[in-house]
Structure formats: C-alpha cells, structure tokens
Structure 1
Amino acid sequence: MTEQYWVGDFFIDITRNQITQKTQSQKIPPKALAVLTCLAKNANNVVSHDEILSQVWPDTVVTPNTLQRSIAQLRKALGEHSQSYIKTHAKQGYSLEVEVRWQAKLEDAATIDAVTNDALASDTIDKEVVSTDPIAKNKETESATVKQPSKNTRLIAPLLALAVLAVVAFNVLMPSPLNLEIAEFNSLTATDDKEYSGIYTPDGKYVVFQRYSEKVCRNNNIWAKNTKTKQEFQLTKNMGSYGSHSFSKDGKTLVFIDSNDCDTPINQKQCYKLMSLDFERALKQPQSPSVLVECKNSRIARPKWLDNNNIALVQEFSNRWKLTSYSVKENKSSVIYELEEGNIVYFDYSPKDDLIALTRIHSDGQQYLDMLKPDGERLSSHQIELPKEIPGNRFIYPNFTPYPSLLIFSTGRQLFTLSYDGKISNISLPLNEPISSPIFHPTESRMLVIKGHYDSDIAMMPLSQMTQLESAQNLSQLSNTYSIMERSIQREDNAQFQPGGELIAYQSNRSGRNQLWVTNNDKALQISNFPLDTFIYEMDWAADGKSMLINANKELTRLYLDSHAETIAFAFPIEKLFQWHSEDNTALVLARINGVLKFAELDLNNAEYKIMNDKKVTWAGKSEDGRLIYTDQMEQFWQSGPVEDQRIEALVTQGSDNNFIIKDNVIYGINADFQLWSYALDDKTFNIIGNMPEKLDYITDINQTDILLTMRIAAKKEVAEIILAN
C-alpha cells in the first residue's frame, strides 16, 4: 500500500499518522487517515458510507457517528480547505474534490523536492520534442513551447479564459465586503464601575445597560442613559444577578433574567427568573421588577421580545438548549425550535423583519446559521464558512444590522459580517482594543459595543504566612503576606510551577495577544505565538517539565519550551481542560461532543474518548494514586468508587466557583468565605489553612512551600458608541 501521498498542498504520511502543510505538521488519528486514504483512492467520485465503513472498519460494527467524527477530524486538520476538499453528499457519502498525487509516482520521476512544479511543467513542455544535442533541444523546446502549443496547452488556454470570465462575473454579481468608516468612537459609561449588555430603546433615545459595582462584583443594577442629554437613571431598586435585556415593541416594558441561589436546591444551585420592569416608571424612580416565571430545574437565558407579544428565550435541559416562546398573556410556553442532534449556540431577533437568526453546532462539529420565523418555520439553513482569521472552534454570536441580509459579530479586535447564506467577510474597521457585542441603532448609522480589559496579576504566597491573614484587616496588611510575581496593565493568570524545575508558566495579554509565558523570577519569555483573538482557557505541565498541554481556542496544543507546537487533532471542541497525564498521554476534559457538553477522558494518542459520567461537572482531577475527584453544578465534591461515586461529606459546605487543586493526594480549595482549606484523601483529614485576600480570583497551583494566586487588580468594561461616517 502507498504510505505517502499529496492531497492538494497537504503531504500525507500514513507511517507517522501525520498531515503536513508547508512546515506545519499535525498528528491525525489512524482511522481518520484511513478514511482520507479511502477517499483519495476514489478522488472526485462519491464513496458511499457503507463502502468507507467496510474498508476502514472491516468486520467491526460501528455507528454512523464514528464516520462523522473522522470526517470532522479531517476537516479540522485541513482547515480553510476542508469545505472545498471534502464534499458531503446527503444520504450518499463523501467525495474528495482535489488533485491527489501518490508518492511512488513522484519518486519514479525524481521530483519529490519539486512536487508543486510538476503539474505546470508537464503542461507547458511539449513531450514530443526529442534530441541528443542539448543546444538543438533547447531551441526546439523553445520553438515548440512558443510557436507550437502542445495539446494540453491548447486545452488549457480556453479553460483559463473561462476562469477569468468567471472571476469577473463573480466580482460583478457578488457584493463587495462591507467597509465601515468610523466618524467617532465615544465612551458612554466611563466610570469606575463595570458596564455590560448595552442596548438601545426601540426609539433610540436611551441606552440601557448593566452596571456592576467594583465592591460587589457579582451583582448589578440596570441603568439607562439619555443619548442626547447624557443624563443617567438607575432603573432597578435593588441589585441582582441580572442578565441581558430586551424591550417590548412599544418600548414600555423591559424583560431580563435574574439568577440567584435557590432557596431549596434540587438539582441545580442557581434558580432563574424571567423578570419584567415598567420602563417609564423606572425612569422617574427605581423600581422592583416583577417575576413572570421561575425555573428551578432548568436554565433560561437571552430573552427577546417578539412582535407577537411573546418572549423568545433559550431553555436548557440535560445540557441541550431549546428555543422557546413564552406567552405573558396566557402564562405558558411552547417550543419554537429544538434539535435532535447538536445544540443551539446563540440567537438574535429583528423586530423590523420579524425574523430570528440562530447559530447552532451540528453533531459533525460544524456551525450552521438558520433563519427562522417566530413560529419556528425554517426559511434557510447554511453551514457557516469560517475564514482563516477565525479559529475553527470559535462560536459565532451574530446580531442583526440595517444592511440587507447581513449580520455582524466580533471576535475581539476584529469585526465580521455574516450573510444569511453563511458567508463571512472581515470589516475594514480599525480596532485598537478588544470590543464585543456590536448592536446597531434602530434608525441611525451608529452601534453600541462593550470595550475595556481585565487586569490581573500573579502572586505567590508562602504557606508559612497563611496564619497572618487571620488578623489582617485591610489590603495594606494583606499585601505583606504575598508578593507579586508578574504584573502588567493586562491580564496575567493561571500560573503553574514547572515539575522538577525553577520555571513558572502563565498566560498573559501583555503583548496585545493572549500568549503563554514562562519566568524564572528574573526574566520572562513568551514561548507561544498564537494568532490574533486567540483565547487560552487552561493549561497543564507534562510530568517531565519540558512541555505543556494548552486549551487554546477550544482545541488542544502541545507546546514545548523551545516554542515548537503540535496541534492535537480531535473532532469536538474542548470546553475545559481539567488535567493532563503526560505519562499515558490522556486528559480529563469537558468536550462538546455532538454539540452537548460531556465529561470525558481523552486518549491523545488516537483521539478516542471515554465518557466518565452524565453529571454536569464543573472541575475535575485525579489524585496521584488514580482517584477521580470532581465537583458538580451544586458545588459538591465527588470521589470515584468501586460501584458508584461517593460524595465527600467533609466538603459539603466548602464548594465555591473557584477551581480546586490536587497535590500528593491532598485537595486544596477556596470556600465561599475566601478561606483556603485542605482535605487529605488518605486519612480524610480536613483543615482550614487560612483566610485569603478578597481580591483573589482563584488559586492556580501549590507546592510544598508556596501557593500561586491570580489577583484581580481592575476589571474595566464600559459601553461605547461607534458613530459611522455617512
């Protein structure tokens, strides 16, 4: 069997389970490569599902999802070329629509090092010219090439002409990418607090937003600001955990979600209430919102008031979201849209067009845009074609624009449009700092965005000084108990000690991009080179301290200290990387498998996975002796057992939204009172070690003498308005 071949400009090496483009190589699961080889042998022809299954998985019963997973792995590896290379034929199979060149043929021609020039050379040189005289041969070749076109050349010429005409026609018929010019970029809420979720009132006279106090960072009030007079109004009487909001068509009523701890939790700690507020009365005096409906066993989010006076929102059951419609008048709800496979990502509503735009992730890992009527009728459905500027696992959150058939979204420092048929274009708009949530004014050429940054530092605290925190009364006293290791005016966090070494790895935005850095307490060095708008979620050292596994843009990358990086191919987005066991190359992850979040153990050698349980796991890790520890959405700690998992009773009141750490069979965590505690798994000993600073974000690592912390310095977010040139 041929073990090396080319697919377009990708070099496939089956012996190494590797795909290489230029100098970038990726490891691909063997079964996925076998699927690619099957398609390559039948290039430009449809290969049925049954034929692929019989060749790749002979004498083995597998589900159709297994083949879909391999196709998704291949598409991820091929990146921007995936949609043009691998074609899906509904209810038939797949085809590989690209030139395939087999390595054996290239070796016979002795042109391995110049493979990209072979096709051009064979088409432009007349192979009938034969001479033993080098000079004569050159002359004859020149004559044949210039004056007597070969058969291939004569065929190519009209094809090239047709191609040029096609390009011209395409450019004439297709609209040009949207170019926006900024006339003004103004801050609307430049305060010491944090502001989010800015929207316009239906008449455009007010901007409504949430304001979080720096002192009470988890709760907020809803405010309004007159766009002409700049006068501000507090709308809600008391603070709450208020989410995004929406106006009724007449602009008189505001609806939003309030989430708080349930009085008597059943299977989730948070209860969700759909609230309403009389906007006109609130402008005169802050009001207490009214409860429309309360959900204790499901999550609800993103209410949107429809023109039919119902409220559309997404509701989650068992990790799967549905788009529902709630009737205020009848006090009942009905399903607008739900999926048997995959999951809903986001939706927006256009009152002007009475239209819903919904993005979803399919079971094959691809994102789709569905355009719906409010009654659920699907008008169109198209796969979203992500350009190279956007990582393959980045979810799309588009909002409507005043431009025909165009939505808009941000990835941070880049703005994009999304057409109703799934095409993405980059907007030519300079952005000097990250923005999010672009919302257009209902009638004018302006839009709201959220801008700002998060500033946190890395601190180290000796465990021997923990007792000093018990008597500390203010920040100046607390600052004597820890030292700042790394700081900038940007985000620094997730610091971890190097196993067996002196380095500390951490992530930072100090270079303008989210990157991985290492320091030896004297000199800091950036070792990653991720593209613009990359977000690093989690990371973990290898046991030998020579590399790290990083969850960046929801895919795993192994990064070495010399900056060499290897992408780990996996068919599904990685939402959280809990822990990496480099010895057997497995990882505990929260993955979005077929669109649904699953707690799984991933074998990085072959990209196979095992579902650990069906609980909503928030954090997890294994002890040195292999015991699985995890927390659920009720902030309870569980330990794996021989028959069933056991709740750790000593930690029932110690859970919080901070992650925990396991070192030497001891669990370390932070409770809701900002106390650092430890629990020894061997002798079941529980201890309160000491109080922690209130500006602590979370603990990130611990060794025999010190603990690493992420300290919150400032969280600056504000509502800004971009005024566009006419």
Structure 2
Amino acid sequence: MNLNGPSQSELNDTLDESDKAQFWLNETRVSPYTGELFQGQLVSRLEPKVMDVLVMLANNANAVLSPQTIFSHVWPRSIYSPVSIRRAISQIRIALNDHDKTVLKTHPKRGYALYANVRRVAERDSLSSEQQTLSSTLQQPRREKGHLKTMVLTVSPVALICIWLFSVMLKSTASNSPEVENIQPLTASPQNEYYSRFTPDSKAIVYLKTKADDSNATEVWLTAADRSYSQKIWEHNADIRYFSWAEANPASAGYRLVYAVAQPDHLQFESVLFDRHFQVESRQVHFDLAGKIGISTFVTLGQNVYFLAKHEAVNRMYRGDLSTGKTEVLLSPTEQFNPYRIALSADKNSLTVLGFDRQRHSIIKRLSLTDGKSEVIADLGPNWYFINYVEALNGYLLSDGKHLQFLDESNQLKDIAFENYDFLHFPSVSPNGKLLTFTQTKLQGNAYIHWYEQDEAQHLSNSNRHTWLVSLSPSGKYVTFVSNRNGYAQIFVKVLTDGREWLVYANQQQHLALSQPVWNENETKLAFARNGLLTTVEWQQNNHQAVNETQIVGTPTQWLDQGSRILFERKSADESLWFEYAEGHDPIHKRTLKQGRLVVTNAGHFVVTKREVQRGNGQTIFAAPEHQRIVAHKWHKNALWLLIEQSASVYHLRQISAEGKTSQLIRTLPAPDGTVSDFNEAGVVYSDLEADKDIVTLELR
C-alpha cells in the first residue's frame, strides 16, 4: 500500500475514453458510461462526476489519492473544493453499501484509497441475455441495411438543405442560454457576508456583513468587480435585511441605497446617499411598519419601494413612497395565489410576482401597477425559487437553492450548468450582463440523542454537512432524519443499537424543502412533505417505496389508525387548516385553528399552543407557568407528552392522560445544547447548526 499515492507519471487518468468500459469492483459490476452499479438484482446510479471519481480510484486501486489530485483530474477547470470530493466519496460509499468504510477508506490528512479486486468486464459478459439476443438480431444479413443506405443517398438536395437549416436553428436557440465560467469567491472572512448586488455602473459589488464584535449590527461593504479594492461604506447598529438601489436626486451625481432594518417591534426603511466615490453624503428615514415583521427581497421603481412583508403569518405586498412615507397594500394572499418573491419586469409599469398556487407550484405572474391586473408568465412546478430580472439578458435568473436557471423572453426555462454543492441564494447579474453573483451558504451541523439516564449526549451523525429534523420511532429502536450529506436534502433511517443506516428517500428531483418525517405506529411507514406536497415511504431494511402525492398540499404531523390515515396541516393566510387523509380518498377537513397545533386521540383531540393545552371544546387543561413555554409535544403510548422550557438551562417532561383528566411531571432534565426535534419518555433528540456565508462570482459568456 502506497500512503504517499502514485506520482503524477504513475497516475492513471480517469478521463480517458477507454475508461468508459465496464469493470468489476469485487462483486459489483460498474458501468461508467451509464453511471450504473449492478449488485445482483439491485441497480444504483451515480452522477457523471461522481462516477469519474470512482473510476479514478478504481484505476489506482490500493493507492492513496489526495483530494487535490482527484479534484484536479475530475474538475480540471474549477477552483479546488473539498466539499465536492467529500460529497462524491459519500455517494460512492452509499452506492457500494460501504457503511463501515472498509472498501473506500479515508486516510486522515492523506486522502482516499479503494481496496477492492478491480478487473475488466469482457464485452460478451457485459451483455444481458436480452442484449445478446438483440446483438444477434443486429448481425443478420445486411441486405435491408444496404437498401436503406441507397435510399438515404437518394434524398433530394432540398431535404438536405432543410435539415441543415433546422440544425442551425437548434444551435441558435441553444446559444440563447447563458453560460458561466471561472467561479471565484469574492469574500472569505470569518464573518458572514451575504446578499450581494452590483453597483449601477457594474464596476463593484455591494454586500452585507455581520459585524465582528456585535452580531446584531450590520456593515455594508463594497468590493471592486476586479478585486482591486474593498472598503466598508456604511454600517448600522441593527439588522439590515436587504437593500436596493434607488434613483438619486437629479442634482446629485451619486447613488442612493435603500435598505430595510429589522427592529424588535417594527420594520424601518431608510436610505443613504453616496457621492460617486461612495462617501456618505446623507441618511434619511422614510417609513416603518409596526409589529414583528418579516421581509423578503424588495425592489425600487422611481420614488417607490415594493416589498413583501409577513405579519402574523400573512405575506402581503406593499408599496411605500420614499418621498411621502405613505404605504399601501397592493396584493394579499389567496388560496389560488400566495406570493413569496417579487422582482422587476421588462415593463416599467409592472412587477414580477412569484408565488404558490393551490398545488404548491411556483407561478410567475406579471402584475400591472396601473390597473392591478395580473397574467401568468410561467409555471415552475413544485419547487421554491429566488428570482431576479436581468435587463441585459431580457429574462429572469432563477435559483432553487441548488441550481441556476434562466427564463428567457419566450418563457423557455433553461439550465445554467456549473458545479455547486452548497445552498445558493440571492443571485443577480451585473447591469452590463458580464458577471453573476450569489450568496453561497455552507451548512454544517450534527444530530444528537441524550438519554436522560446518561450524562453525555451521543452523536447520531458526524459529518461536515448538515443533519436535522430527527424523529424517534415509537419503539425507540430507530431514528429518521434529513441530511444534505450528498449535496441536497435526503431522508435516512438509522438503527440506534448498531448504527446501520439506509437511504430511504433519495429526492432525485432535489426538492429544496423536506419536512420532518413522521413514523407510523408499526414503524413501517414515514410521512413528510416535499416543498409542501405530501409524500409517504413504505420501508424495509432493503426495500423502500415512495409515493409522491401531486395534489395533497400540507405538512403531515401524525399517523392515525395504525398508519391507514394521516393528519396534516395546511397553512392558509392567518390560519391553519387541518385534514385527515387516506390514500385514494379526498382529504377530510377536521378543524381550522388561528393558533396552535392539532393532536388527534382515541377520545377526541387536543390543541397545543406555546403556553397551553386545550380540549377540542376550548377548555384549558394545562397552562405553563409564566415565562415558560412548550417546546415540543407528541402523542405517544396513548398519552400526550410535553417538553417544557422552564429556563435556559432546565426543561420539564410532562404527561397528560388521553382523556385530559390528569397531568403529571415526569422528570426534570438539563436543556439540550441545540434545537429539539423530538423526544420520548427515555431521551431527547436535537441538532446544532453552523452557517458559513460568502459571496461568489461567475463570469457570463
């Protein structure tokens, strides 16, 4: 075994066409050309770049290859990213069922080595019986083929010209899709840098940055597009959420930056006027909205700012006049359309609004600012997006958190190809159309279980990615959780006694949002939502079957009747609608709640809020003392269990009987060091999270 790895001259190149041939890896047949791995009757698939990593390791079996060496051969035109390598290694191990990491082994601070019997597959051996039969058929006398060849040669010149013109049209159409290259980090400080926009002259990028000595304060930084200089141009003692460039006073030769500041009891819009060297000339407060307000990205047109603000769970679109300070509601959510993003439009008298329809499809609409009428531009399907209008390209730049896409003026959606394994948000393009920037967030966090009788919590995961939304099975034998260890959210099941794991929902469409999985009583089914649409999985240790509903919108919270029905919640404006659903039947509406969550029991149901538990008739049967809150609840073993935060360091575990007649304190426990996702009478599961945000640029061509 060579721990130093092969020299460059000894290294077998993975990108040679000969390496598309099939090979055996122990008892697994690998087909690089199709990306498939065959293990008996089981077939798994790898992405092209991940397969290239496997081929390179197989070509250099029993030798240690450094991550840098692998990356330079598989991604020769990209900046070195250890995340890409770790993701590829993780996917290969899953495909090979190498859970104990004995086949594909990590050598700390050195690299990776594949320990396996690697041998080529003979051509005839690589064919199935059906393929061999087809091969024999294709080797019949070629008289028919010769006849066909003669026919092809006699095709008229006019037809050939038509074919040529059609191919030119196809190439012309394909060339309209933006292409990117030369991905480069713009920032790399210990603080988080996020939400970037180009200056109006395209010469620099402005972004937000958390202040090193005050996490509640925000700095505004400017970095030249060519990286020649960087400077802080503004700071605020509160949290600046987003900003947008507005028209400056005609008498000024500078720039006006409008920004939203989140205060504890209101949201405030301010602006700062810079001269052409980005020195501050003046600051102005324009207007505010009272209450605890959430806000998404906003845009400015003339002296107006248009924004979506969420107050008491309702997302409304506002117009604010920067000169008078007056605000008005332009659009409120309905069941047919619930807006969540806005952008500019090619028409200066309209805006682009992105929202969910009743089936949780993202719909792009153009909203007229003159008569309030709207028209549908595109249906993006059941996913969630960031959107930005690009005047230089006459279309929309979109991101689903993983990929970049472009919607052109003819409403054709096209992928922008580049490698990305982190959360990608807030994309924008320079006014001259030459550069693209976005915020890249690396999420890292692990899950833990703390058995009440033990002093220390145990790791449920230990990776450089993010594991969260953990659920304990009713018996406590298993946990299920969401993890992005392979670059996007997937659902796994783990045995707590021996650590075995199964990938039970691969999420091949790479939906951005998966909700917390819910177990049925027999531990044979899981239910969760993918971007708000109900999904169920029937699972066994080596067999998993998913059912993706396309019409059932809502988040499951509880299985009923041993797994024959599901209770789910659907949020609508300022209330929650609760339904029961059995596969093949229409959902049955159970309750509508202004606050709280529904729990169905054999004797009726409870409503659980942050402070109280009520019977279905509204009678309060438990109220947490002042300054305490209910952190989590669950229906378990024919009783309602509550986890209550007494203080920052102490939790209470309480049980309420099925009829709601008795309530008793079960135990006091130390507060978990993270976000609680589930618990039972024996332990609590929780997760932590670190987010590293940086600004990245791409060149457009």
TM-score normalised by the chain length of structure 1:
0.63
Of 541, 551, 563, 1:571 maps to 551
**C-alpha distance in structure 2 between counterparts of 1:565 and 1:517, whole Å:** 13
- Asked if 1:202 corresponds to 2:191, the answer is no
Aligned-partner residue type, residue 361 of structure 1: F
Whole-angstrom CA distance in 1 between matches of 2:214 and 2:527: 35
Whole-angstrom distance in 1 between the partners of 2:371 and 2:622? 45
Q: Where does residue 655 of structure 1 map in the other structure?
A: 629
Q: Which residue is equivalent to 2:522?
A: 544
Residue in structure 2 matched with residue 615 of structure 1 by the alignment: 594
Name the residue aligned to 1:588: 567
Partner of 2:238: 239
Q: Distance in 1 between matches of 2:164 and 2:376?
A: 26
Measured after TM superposition, the shift of residue 523 of structure 1 is 2.6
Task: Please name the residue that 1:723 is paired with.
Answer: 699
One-letter amino acid of the counterpart of residue 579, structure 2: E
- Cα shift readout 1:327-367 (whole Å, capped 9, x = no counterpart): 13223223444566422232112599565221233346554
Deviation of the 1:668 alpha carbon:
0.9
Following superposition, the deviation at residue 440 of structure 1 comes to 0.8
Give the AA of the match of 2:484: N
The answer for the alignment partner of 1:464 in structure 2 is: 453
| Distance in 2, Cα, partners of 1:570 & 1:315 | 29
In 2, Cα distance between the equivalents of 1:339 and 1:360? 9
> Counterpart in 1 of 2:653?
678
Query: C-alpha deviations, 1:129-150, integer Å up to 9, x for none?
Result: xxxxxxxxxxxxx9xxx9xxxx
Match among 462, 482, 486 for residue 461 of structure 2: 486
Q: Could you tell me how far apart the structure 1 residues matched to 2:406 and 2:524 are?
A: 41
Higher mean alpha-carbon deviation, 528-537 vs 289-298, is at: 289-298
Which SS does the other structure have where 1:431 is aligned?
A: coil
Amino acid at match of 1:707: V
Out of 220, 224, 240, the position equivalent to 2:221 is 224
Change (3 A) 1:459 1:364: closer
Q: Structure 2 CA distance, aligned partners of 1:339 and 1:506?
A: 32
| Equivalences for residues 56-67 of structure 1 within 5 A | none
What residue is the counterpart of 2:267 in the other structure?
273
Q: How many residues align?
A: 532
Counterpart of 1:256, as a letter, is Y
What's the secondary structure of 2:460's corresponding residue?
Answer: strand
Call closer, same or farther: CA 1:496–1:343 in 2, change over 3 Å: closer
Report SS of the residue matched to 2:342: strand
The equivalent residue for 2:353 is 358
| 1:398 alignment partner, one of 369, 387, 391 | 387
Indicate which of 345, 352, 368 corresponds to 2:340: 345
Q: Shift of the alpha carbon at 1:177?
A: 5.9
Q: Secondary structure at the match of 1:236?
A: strand
Deviation at 1:544, TM superposition (A): 0.6
In structure 2, the partner of 1:701 is 678
Instruction: Choose from 445, 454, 460 the match for 2:443.
Output: 454
Shift of 1:431: 3.1
Give distance in 2, aligned partners of 1:511 and 1:208. Answer: 32
Q: CA deviation at 1:651?
A: 5.1
Aligned-partner Cα distance in 2 for 1:671–1:422: 54
Deviations 1:418-437 (Å, cap 9, x if unpaired)? 23554322223343544222
Q: How much has 1:703 moved relative to structure 2?
A: 2.9
Does 1:628 pair with 2:606? Answer: yes
Aligned-pair distance for 1:298?
Answer: 6.8
Hey, what does 1:39 align to over in structure 2? Answer: none
> What letter matches 1:571 in structure 2?
Q
Once the two structures are superposed, residues 294-350 of structure 1 have per-residue CA deviations (whole angstroms, 9 ceiling, x without a partner) of: 23387654332212x011112457755443211132232234445664222321125
Alpha-carbon separation, structure 2, partners of 1:628 and 1:449: 45
Counterpart Cα distance in 2 of 1:213 and 1:692: 29
- Cα contact 1:234–1:286 (8 A) shared by 2: no
Deviations 1:150-204 (A, max 9, x none): xxxxxxxxxxx9xx99994995698336444434222222122323222223334
Selected match of 1:436 from 415, 425, 431: 425
Deviation at 1:489, TM superposition (A): 0.4
Distance of 1:684 and 1:171 partners within structure 2: 73
Shift of the 354–646 alpha-carbon distance from structure 1 to 2, 3 Å rule, reads same
Instruction: Describe the superposition over 1:459-483 as per-residue Cα deviations: whole angstroms up to 9, x where unpaired.
Output: 1212135xxxxxxxxxxxxxx7322
Cα drift, residue 557 of structure 1: 2.1
2 CA distance for matches of 1:503 and 1:654? 31
- Structure 1 residues 167 and 544: alpha-carbon distance in aligned structure 2, compared to 1, 3 A threshold: farther
CA distance in structure 2 between the partners assigned to 1:509 and 1:592 by the alignment: 26
Superposition pairs of residues 146-185 of structure 1, within 5 angstroms: 168=166, 171=169, 175-176=173-174, 178-185=176-183
Three-state SS of the structure 1 residue aligned to 2:274 is helix
* One-letter amino acid of the structure 2 residue matched with residue 512 of structure 1: G
Tell me by how many angstroms 1:407 deviates: 0.4
Identity %: 13
Q: Which amino acid aligns with 1:257?
A: A
Structure-2 change in CA distance of 1:453 and 1:688 (3 Å): farther
Distance (whole Å) between structure 2 residues aligned to residue 235 and residue 598 of structure 1: 41
Distance in 2 (CA, whole Å) between partners of 1:660 and 1:343 is 29
Q: Distance in 2 between matches of 1:286 and 1:221?
A: 19
Select 2:258's aligned residue among 255, 267, 272: 255
Q: Partner amino acid for 1:293?
A: D
Change (3 A) 1:509 1:257: same
In structure 2, C-alpha distance between the alignment counterparts of 1:279 and 1:628, rounded to whole Å: 55
Point out where structure 2 has 5 or more consecutive residues left out of the alignment.
1-143, 149-158, 249-253
Partner of 2:396: 407
Change (3 A) 1:708 1:398: same
Are the counterparts in 1 of residues 422 and 443 from structure 2 also a CA contact under 8 Å? no
Give me the TM-score of the superposition, normalised by structure 2: 0.65
SS of alignment partner, residue 562 of structure 2: coil
Higher relative contact order (CA 8 A, sep 6+): 1
Change (3 A) 1:670 1:221: farther
The secondary structure found in structure 1 opposite 2:298 is strand
2:346–2:391 Cα contact (<8 Å) kept: no
3-state SS, counterpart of residue 717 of structure 1: strand
Structure number with the higher helix fraction is 1
Is 2:646 the partner of 1:667?
no
Partner Cα separation in structure 2 for residue 670 and residue 206 of structure 1? 47
* Structure 1 letter corresponding to 2:629: G
2:289 match: secondary structure: strand
Q: Is the contact between residue 405 and residue 415 of structure 2 (CA under 8 Å) also seen in structure 1? A: yes
Q: Please give the secondary structure, in 2, of the residue aligned with 1:176.
A: helix
**Alpha-carbon distance in 2 for matches of 1:167, 1:493:** 53
Equivalent position of 1:295 in the other structure = 290
